[in-house]
Chain A
Amino acid sequence: AQSVAQPEDQVNVAEGNPLTVKCTYSVSGNPYLFWYVQYPNRGLQFLLKYITGDNLVKGSYGFEAEFNKSQTSFHLKKPSALVSDSALYFCAASPGGYQKVTFGTGTKLQVIP
């Protein structure tokens, strides 16, 4: 069975500092990996994805993620955090095609002014 783990329920970071939100996965074959952001009372917004190729993926709003096959990780990063980045972040994984996408439990990011 496929699974996604986000080991931190909450991450606190000072504004202007770099941020990392961690994600590890267990998916058969070559995974499709995704990051989403959710603001209160809203749906999930797509940030970025890894399909194949370069291990460093760049996405929306200055976010990027690093794929590490040996560690089965896909950590979300941003060089300089903004207060407006405070939200709930979800990592997701899928074998691709129509098969179901599995989400992590989410990590709440709090950026402190």
Chain B
Amino acid sequence: DGGITQSPKYLFRKEGQNVTLSCEQNLNHDAMYWYRQDPGQGLRLIYYSQIVNDFQKGDIAEGYSVSREKKESFPLTVTSAQKNPTAFYLCASRSGTGFGNTIYFGEGSWLTVV
């Protein structure tokens, strides 16, 4: 099936640890995105990438890092510098060509600091 796969669904992080959330898509989309969702605050953009080996900071990039070495993969690392990482993280992708430009989402990953 075509789609976006995020893993793990649930992740626990100890203070001072870096953790990486995986995002893989087989939709052949050029653009990929990471959003953070907190209750009552909607979605906030962390990073986005329009092409392999290139990415841009979103609105809340501090404490996060990404890489885009392959078209289908866009992992997000939550570093120890992110002081309040507990949230629901959503990966998305989008085709920039043709009719539509719809953005599609994965099922999300919960990160909790313990």
CB of A101 within 8 A of CB of B103, answer yes
List the B residue with the shortest CB-CB distance to A32. Answer: B101
Cβ of B62 within 8 Å of any chain A Cβ, yes or no, is no
- The answer to whether A46 touches B104, judged by C-beta atoms less than 8 angstroms apart, is yes
Indicate the size class of the contact surface on chain A: 20 to 34
Asked if A49 CB lies within 8 Å of chain B CBs, one says yes
Contact of A100 among B33, B40, B107 (CB under 8 A): B33
B15 to chain A, nearest CB (A): 25
Q: How far is the CA of A9 from the CA of B39 in the complex (A)?
A: 11
CB–CB B41/A105 < 8 A = yes
**Contact residue among A51, A100, A101 (Cβ-Cβ distance under 8 Å from B100):** A51
Q: B100 and A49: CB pair below 8 A? A: yes
Q: Report yes or no: B101 in contact with A41, Cβ–Cβ below 8 A.
A: no
B72 within 8 A of A: no
**CB-CB under 8 A for A43 and B30, given A97-B101, A100-B58:** no
A11 at the interface (CB under 8 A from B): no
Q: Are B103 and A34 in contact (CB under 8 A)?
A: yes
Q: Bound state CA distance, A86 and B101, in angstroms?
A: 27
Within residues 10 to 58 of chain A, which ones have a CB less than 8 A from any CB in chain B? 32, 34, 36, 41-46, 49, 51
- 8 interchain residue pairs of minimum CB distance: A105-B42, A43-B105, A103-B43, A98-B50, A44-B105, A43-B107, A98-B96, A43-B108
Q: Which residues of B contact A (CB under 8 A)?
A: 4, 6, 30-31, 33, 35, 40-43, 45, 48, 50, 58, 90, 92, 94, 96, 99-108, 110
Binding site for B on A (CB under 8 A): 9, 32, 34, 36, 41-46, 49, 51, 90, 92, 94, 96-98, 100-101, 103-106
- 5 further contact pairs, Cβ within 8 A, besides A43-B106, A98-B30, A100-B58: A44-B92, A46-B104, A97-B101, A100-B48, A101-B94
User: 8 A-B contacts, Cβ less than 8 Å apart?
Assistant: A9-B40, A34-B103, A42-B107, A43-B107, A49-B100, A100-B48, A100-B58, A105-B42
